Structure 1
């Protein structure tokens, strides 16, 4: 929830730099529409639209319908889409550190996962 609040704050701050016309952002998702990642992304999109007073509308595209999961990061990097969602561990072929949270039984609770993220965050941010 803290991350969602931070993202919303960042999106709201970015609105000041946007033109007056509403923008539609396509957001590719690798997961089915009923997966919690996609459900959360759709809710995030609604929050952005509300928080920006309608200046930005995020349209989610679940199930790899816009780009397959493995291509989402590249689509963002090349400007084909402005936003996307993909598990970081899906890119551990680029850097083994990206797979830190997919080691079985390393973090077995929400509290453990928060501790794991706090330990990994400085290394991830340094990449």
Structure 2
């Protein structure tokens, strides 16, 4: 099996158990565009955005450092660009304190730059 990224209106019940592990107690919003990365039919990463704002992105701890976050972010950026957005913003301060620096480093390594207190990335049209 290979990694698959799903763009969804909601997280399917089939994947809620693994999504809950990824979320670590954080609630899902009622409305967002969800991106679920699966491998062998198990959720290994989850993200969501609302308009040009990437509100959450996380990879399950046991599957980190395998390129899953990079592929998930690449797909999010492609779909945001296809939806007509010109940039994608993220506020690492919304992540748990112990994960903020790692998230900021990851986003910076993927082309995000500081803009008005946020990390922002211009999307190709």
For the criterion TM > 0.5, the same-fold answer is: no
The TM-score with structure 2 as length reference comes to: 0.31
Q: Which has the larger radius of gyration?
A: 1
Q: Kindly indicate whether structure 1 or structure 2 has the higher relative contact order, using CA contacts under 8 Å at least 6 residues apart.
A: 1
